[in-house]
Amino acid sequence: MTALEFNRYFTEMEHQLLPFALRMTKNVEDARDLLQETAMRAWFHKDKFEVGTNFKAWATTIMRNTFINMYRKKRNRATSAEPSDSHIFINERHATENEAHSRIMMAELDQIIDEIGSTYSVPFMMYYKGFKYEEIAAQLDIPIGTVKSRIFTARQKLREAILKRFPEMQCSE
């Protein structure tokens, strides 16, 4: 499956996957995080998807398994230092390297990210690199709600910019 095919399939299913994530997490922000984690895992394993089979079933299976694995990790991990009321958030003290950058044209993406402005790009890139919301808020000295809002807005701006630059990625509704 090519990157364009994957993007088209996933974009078409996104509006159906978000309510599914919301039913599991019971929290809008956690549902968005779960949707993004599902997209990342599906992207990483897109070569395992067999074209012609049910993409929605494949993506929902990835989402369900991701939720279950994250829930189990949270339940089994001793998180007495900073309890979280999130079902998805897992307290970790370090950022993890995100290997997705090796699979896309980073030069074009970097240019698009620069265009949205540092107000949005800095928290977005920190989140992309694996920092948690709390870590970003502490490092930038802004409230966690502002961090979440800026990352969400950055995603929207990036999507709009990418679709302007690559209209072939536009899904038909």
Tell me the pLDDT band of 101, cut-offs 50, 70 and 90: very low
Cβ proximity of 119 and 128 under 8 Å: no
φ, ψ dihedrals at 32, nearest 5°: -65, -40
Q: What pLDDT shows up at residue 56?
A: 86
Amino acid at 73: K
Enumerate the CATH 1.10.1740.10 domain ranges in the chain, comma separated. Answer: 1-91
Q: Which of 49-53, 56-60, 103-107, 109-113 has the highest mean pLDDT?
A: 56-60
**How many Cβ atoms sit within 10 Å of the Cβ of residue 49?**
18
Which position has the token pair 């089994």? 76
Least confident piece of the model among 27-36, 46-55, 127-136, 150-159: 46-55
Tell me the pLDDT band of 77, cut-offs 50, 70 and 90: low
Q: What pLDDT shows up at residue 152?
A: 93
Q: What pLDDT shows up at residue 169?
A: 62
CATH architecture, domain defined by 98-168: Orthogonal Bundle (1.10)
Question: Rounded to whole angstroms, how far apart are CA atoms 94 and 20?
Answer: 29
Is the pLDDT at 160 greater than 60? The verdict is yes
Q: Taking all residues of the chain, what is their mean pLDDT, rounded to a whole number? A: 79
Question: Rounded to whole angstroms, how far apart are CA atoms 151 and 121?
Answer: 8
**Cα diameter, the chain:** 48
Residues of the chain above pLDDT 70, percent: 78
What is the average pLDDT across 67-86?
66
Enumerate the CATH 1.10.10.10 domain ranges in the chain, comma separated. Answer: 98-168
Looking at domain 1-91, its CATH class is mainly alpha
Cβ neighbors of 155 (< 8 A, separation 6 or more) are: 36, 124
